[in-house]
Amino acid sequence: MKTTIFTALIMIALFGTGAAQVSQSNPTAPLPAKHLTRKQAAHLVNTANTPEEHRELAQYFRQEAERRRNKEQYYMEVVATYRLHPPRVDSYRNSPTQDRYGQLAEEARAEASADDRRAFLQERFAEGLATPK
């Protein structure tokens, strides 16, 4: 009697875990977006011919701009932290730490805006290739 109940409980547990695994592996889930590496993007810059390739480049530049905006946000948070809690000894540097991170944030902002501009131009170029003349 105990063996029968124990076997039934094990079978129910195995069936339940199998059903849970099947429900997690949903074949209709969208595939993740393709991310180009810097090397692939550099190659694509030199060899892109089709509108799809130019759109991939535009997407890459948008991703780079977003990455640089995140970097800028991080640097701005570091600047705010150093303003609230300055280090006790900052004399071994020529300039205060918060100024250095402020400069890094400005550089990241400039690079992000340049990448946004590149993405915009790449998208416009791809649209120009896609439209028949």
User: Diameter of the chain by CA atoms?
Assistant: 82
**Tokens 């915009």 label which residue?**
120
**CB of 115 closer than 8 Å to CB of 65:** yes
Tens digit of pLDDT at every position of the chain (133 positions): 777 776 766 767 666 666 555 555 555 545 455 778 889 888 888 888 888 888 888 888 888 889 889 998 998 898 888 878 776 655 566 566 777 788 888 888 899 888 888 888 888 887 887 676 6
Residue 119: inside a domain, yes or no? yes
Write the CA distances from 30 to 8, 25, 26, 34, 133, integer angstroms: 38, 12, 9, 12, 35
Residue 86: inside a domain, yes or no? yes
Residue 99: inside a domain, yes or no? yes
Residue 9: inside a domain, yes or no? no
End-to-end CA distance of the chain: 82
What is the tally of structural domains in the chain? Answer: 1
Residue 110: inside a domain, yes or no? yes
The DSSP call for residue 27 is T
Residue 31: inside a domain, yes or no? no
Residue 105: inside a domain, yes or no? yes
**Tokens 């390739």 label which residue?**
53
Structural domain containing residue 45? 36-130
